[in-house]
Amino acid sequence: MEIIRDPLWNNVRVDDVTLALVDTPVFQRLRYVRQLGLAYLVYPGATHTRFEHALGAYHLARTTLAMLGEQGALARVPADEGAVVRAAALLHDVGHYPFSHALEEIGAEHHERVARPLITEGVVGDLLRARVAPDAPARVWALVCGQGDSPLRGLISGSLDLDKLEYLRRDARMCGVPYGEIDVDRLLNALVLVDDPDTGRPAVGVREKGLSALESLLFAKYQMYRNVYWHHAVRSATAMYKRLVAAALGAGALDAGRLAGYTDEGLLVALEAGALPPPVARLRDDLRGRRLYKRVVECPAAEFGGADDEAGDWIADDFALATRVEDALAAELGLGAGELLVDYPAKTRMLDLDLPVLRRGGRVARVTAAGWEGAINLPALSDQLYRSARWLRVFVRREARERVRVPGERLVAALRRPAGEVRAALTAGAPLLS
């Protein structure tokens, strides 16, 4: 065993197979991809990378497997399943684009699909086949995608997957905020392998005594979304970055096929080297110089959508339409193309609850988004917290804010309209601000 020192988990013990995987170019790239994208422009300490996060997820997988082994639970799974799970925890982020999830929001292929050839082919695939099992690459990728019938799948993708436990703790530590504290030891010790009441097959569940720690996970995730991930300045920088990369791709200054191979700094260097139209180059320079666009309108999801939880979802789901709307609104307000940006984060569940619970009497019950009457009401609370953390925001370029009066209520009303109605107005050349 080799020892890697980590500021969060102290000693991370790695075996020779893990060390060989860490030393591959596929994994080493993660040293240069920040975990929180552009959040370092707001929280200067948020420069940690997916490299150390992946090592932390591997450490938690190794620790959890040891605990399950002590319970005798691993006697129910194939002998090589532990090695497959450890590899999946280590490799789950190798397909990530530069600056976190932002490029997926403009339509780039999901990072888990990008990861498939990186895990199943090349040096990583060869290592897994030779050192773990002939079918290990396919099994590892299936775990990363939350697929397959492995009894241990819930450790990699699920309500209590180790990825969440790791990134919430690490992100809070590196941002210097107290919001991501989770009772990780309690949760790990509460994990158990049970027979799923729906399928009858063994699956990862949690003992009933761990439900209070599950609440800590929910609140930690909510606080981190509200204060870090969806912080208004972080979302401003993210909106600028998305518009910049999309425009660079449209201008031919970037090759879409190479996006997943860039590091953070590599992509910025490519953007500086490429021939960009003046407005796009100005956007790049603003982002590089941390001249972030300023919010001029904001509205919480609970107020923006009202009873209609789908209102405005096209802003996050249809980047091409959102870009057309941004430029149309900018023109109506006397601004240039790209000087007004709209942001409404893609939907996420604060706690995607679906797991078996071992009750104190020995019975196994499933708790899902439908709730567990009399025992746990996390699903309803999760939905309320999510709607209070998600905000619609309209940003304008800092210099432009001084020369325009933004009609807040009319802007919100325009963005609340259904996608089809908005698209028809654009096609007809009708104003969006009525």
Query: Residue 4: CA atoms inside 13 Å, Cβ hemisphere, count?
Result: 19
pLDDT tens digit at each of 434 positions of the chain: 899 999 999 999 999 999 999 999 999 999 999 999 999 999 999 999 999 999 999 999 999 999 999 999 999 899 999 999 999 999 999 999 999 888 888 888 888 889 999 999 999 999 999 999 999 999 999 999 989 889 999 999 887 889 999 999 999 999 999 887 788 999 999 999 999 888 889 999 999 888 888 878 888 888 899 999 999 999 999 999 999 999 999 999 999 889 999 999 999 999 999 889 999 999 999 999 999 999 999 999 888 976 566 788 999 999 999 999 999 999 999 999 999 999 999 877 656 677 889 988 889 988 776 655 545 566 566 666 777 788 999 999 998 888 788 889 999 999 999 999 999 999 999 999 97
The 8-class DSSP code of residue 289 comes to T
* Tokens standing for residue 115: 């990861």
Q: Which domain holds residue 143?
A: 2-193+212-222
- pLDDT of 376 reads 53
- What is the SS3 assignment for 204? strand
State how far the Cα of 271 lies from the Cα of 101, in Å rounded to an integer: 18
- pLDDT of 378 reads 60
CB atoms within 10 A of CB 133: 18
State how far the Cα of 296 lies from the Cα of 315, in Å rounded to an integer: 17
- pLDDT of 337 reads 92
In a domain, 433, yes or no: no
- pLDDT of 305 reads 78
State how far the Cα of 300 lies from the Cα of 36, in Å rounded to an integer: 23
Contact 129, 54 (CB under 8 A): no
In a domain, 340, yes or no: no
Q: Give burial (CB, 10 Å; 0-12/13-18/19+) of 248.
A: buried
In a domain, 32, yes or no: yes
- pLDDT of 347 reads 76
- pLDDT of 377 reads 61
In a domain, 172, yes or no: yes
In a domain, 24, yes or no: yes
> How many domains, in total, are found in the chain?
1
In a domain, 344, yes or no: no
State how far the Cα of 187 lies from the Cα of 405, in Å rounded to an integer: 51
State how far the Cα of 319 lies from the Cα of 395, in Å rounded to an integer: 16
The residues, ordered by sequence, that sit 6+ positions from 153 with a Cβ below 8 Å of its Cβ are: 143, 146, 147, 203, 204
Quote the distance between the C-alpha of residue 89 and its chain's center. 15
Contact 50, 26 (CB under 8 A): no
Q: Give how far Cα 411 sits from Cα of 200, 253, 298, Å.
A: 52, 32, 10
- pLDDT of 53 reads 98
Q: What is the identity of the amino acid at 253?
A: A
Query: Is the sign of the CA dihedral 380, 215, 195, 57 positive or negative?
Result: positive
In a domain, 36, yes or no: yes
> Dmax over Cα atoms in the chain, in whole Å?
69
Q: At what angle do helices 136-144 and 122-131 cross, to 10 degrees?
A: 120
In a domain, 278, yes or no: no
Q: What is the CATH number of the domain that holds 56?
A: 1.10.3210.10
195 φ/ψ angles, rounded to the nearest 5 degrees:
-85, 120
Instruction: Give me the DSSP letters along 25-46.
Output: HHHHGGGGSBTTGGGGGTSTT-
38 φ/ψ angles, rounded to the nearest 5 degrees:
-90, 10
* Tokens standing for residue 95: 């397909």
- pLDDT of 133 reads 97
- pLDDT of 109 reads 86
The 8-class DSSP code of residue 3 comes to E
Which residues lie across from 376 on neighbouring strands? 372
